[in-house]
Amino acid sequence: MMVKGIIFDIKRYAIHDGPGIRTTIFMKGCPLRCWWCHNPEGISPKPDIMYFSFKCIHCHTCVKACPENAVSFDENEIQHIDREKCTGCGICAELCPTNALRLVGKVVTVDELIREIEKDIKFHDSSDGGVTFSGGEPLFQPEFLEDILKECKKRYIHTTVDTSGYAPTRILEKILSYTDLFLYDLKLFDEKEHIKYTGVPNELIKKNLIFLVEKKANVILRFPVIPGITDTEWNVKGWARFLSELDLSSIQEIDLLPYHDVGEKFNRLGREYKMEVHHAPSDETLKWIKEEFKGLGLKVKIGG
Ligand code: SF4
Ligand code: SF4
Q: Is the distance from CB of 258 to CB of 304 less than 8 angstroms? A: no
Ligand 1 pocket test target in 46, 51, 71, 269 with most atoms within 8 Å of CB:
71
The CATH topology of domain 48-104 is Alpha-Beta Plaits (3.30.70)
Q: Which pLDDT belongs to residue 188?
A: 98
For 211-226, the pLDDT digits (tens) are: 999 999 999 999 999 9
SS3 279: coil
If you measure from the C-alpha of residue 92 to the centroid of ligand 1, how many angstroms do you get, rounded to a whole number? 6
Ligand 1 pocket test target in 64, 69, 72, 89 with most atoms within 8 Å of CB:
89
Q: Cα separation of 278 and 275, whole Å?
A: 7
pTM of the model: 0.94
Ligand 1 pocket test target in 85, 91, 99 with most atoms within 8 Å of CB:
91
Looking at residue 73, its amino acid is: F
The CATH topology of domain 8-43+120-302 is TIM Barrel (3.20.20)
Judged against a pLDDT cut of 80, whether residue 2 lies above it is answered with: no
For 253-272, the pLDDT digits (tens) are: 999 999 999 999 999 999 99
Q: Ligand 2: which atom is nearest the Cα of residue 71?
A: 6
Q: Enter the DSSP assignment of 107.
A: E
Domain ranges in the chain are: 8-43+120-302, 48-104
Average pLDDT, the chain: 96
No. of H helices and E strands in the chain? 11, 13
Q: Enter the DSSP assignment of 81.
A: E
If you measure from the C-alpha of residue 56 to the centroid of ligand 2, how many angstroms do you get, rounded to a whole number? 5
Looking at residue 297, its amino acid is: G
Ligand that comes closest to the CA of residue 98:
2
